[in-house]
Copies of this chain bind each other. A is one copy, B any other.
Amino acid sequence: MRILVDMDGVLADFERGFEEAWQTAYPDLPVVPAAERRHPLVQDEYPPELRGHVHTIFHAPGFFRALPPVPGGRAALEALWALGCDVRLCTTPLLDYRHCVVEKYEWVERELGPAWLDRLILTRDKTIIRADVLIDDRPQLNGSDVPTWEHILYDQPYNRADRSKRRLTWQTWREVLFSDGA
């Protein structure tokens, strides 16, 4: 079984990183707490006059490098690997690639270990990668192909409106992946 695992919102805690960076940069402006997020893209949570601020936060040098890990993510990847699954990291960089791209590699090396660099794929179209499962927090993934993978949502407050897909967390992955359907 090949499993593609997204990074932001699945392995790297984008929400917590964003909240902390926002509070540091704009201590007088309220942050939308992760638990109250309703849109998959953080910029859609804020009024138009604050979207430039949102953009500034996650395009800043060091933002992606500094993201804290989602608890349980590394242990789950290692357990899946030990079970014989072909696990790959599959992430979409920002079009403004300047800091994001290299920092994703730095993050993987630090948080997962250098062996995982060999399993990292950067693509803006995940549908053309052959796999059995994609674990991703974004409910809508654009791409050219009908994917070979089942898209399993990594459960997040902002994707709960999507009831069409199975969902898991790093606390529930064993029963979800190794019960019916996968």
Residues of A within 8 A of B (CB): 2, 86, 88, 95, 97-98, 101-102, 105, 114, 117-125, 128-131, 144-145, 148
The residues of B that contact A125 with a CB separation of less than 8 Å are: 88, 121
Would you call A102 and B98 a contact (CB within 8 A)? Answer: yes
Min Cβ gap A33→B in Å is 32
Min Cβ gap A96→B in Å is 9
Complex-state Cα separation, A148 to B97, whole angstroms: 29
Complex-state Cα separation, A112 to B37, whole angstroms: 38
Copies per assembly: 2
- Give 8 nearest A-B pairs by CB, closest first: A122-B122, A97-B105, A121-B123, A102-B102, A128-B130, A118-B124, A101-B102, A101-B101
A-B contact pairs, 6 of them (CB 8 A): A95-B118, A120-B122, A122-B122, A122-B123, A130-B130, A130-B145
The residues of B that contact A124 with a CB separation of less than 8 Å are: 118-120
The residues of B that contact A86 with a CB separation of less than 8 Å are: 144
The residues of B that contact A119 with a CB separation of less than 8 Å are: 124
